[in-house]
Amino acid sequence: MRPTILHHPAPKRSVAPVFWLLFGAGGMLSALFGPALIILTGFMLPHGWGVPANFSDFPHVLAFVRHPIGKLVVLAVIALFFWHGAERLFLTLKDMRAGPPLLLRLMTYGVAALLTLVTIALLLAIGF
């Protein structure tokens, strides 16, 4: 016989896990690739240090972002970085009680969502 359990009503489910997972994915990506990307795109490519000649030429870069996998990489790196920053900023602003939560969500998640859509649109506009 199963013992009698006094049941408690379950509270309403939060949508926070969606943003938390995007935050987590972006945090992982930025920790792994962020510094490397800064060094690559900020220093090595402009100066041609340690990269093959023509490595960052327009046709090369265009070919990269026209490839479906290249598009996914660029989307992940741009969008997830923003979602990571958005969550961190949102929590900080919420802790500081900087405004009503809905406004803070629009200012953080909203910006990340908008930039994600813009990135997708641009990646599609570049063509395949």
- By CB under 8 A, name the binding residues for another protein: 1-3, 5, 7-8, 10-14, 16-18, 20-21, 91, 95
Closest approach, Cβ 103 to another protein, in A, equals 17
Give the residue with the Cβ less far from another protein, 41 or 92.
92
Closest approach, Cβ 12 to another protein, in A, equals 5
Closest approach, Cβ 14 to another protein, in A, equals 5
Give the residue with the Cβ less far from another protein, 46 or 101.
101
Give the residue with the Cβ less far from another protein, 26 or 71.
26
d(CA 89, CA 104): 9
The SS3 call for residue 113 is helix
Residue 109 neighbours by CB distance under 10 Å:
19
Closest approach, Cβ 23 to another protein, in A, equals 10
Distance separating the N- and C-terminal Cα atoms of the chain: 64
Chain length of the chain: 128
Read off the tokens for 116: 């994600």
| Residue entry with tokens 């200012």 | 107
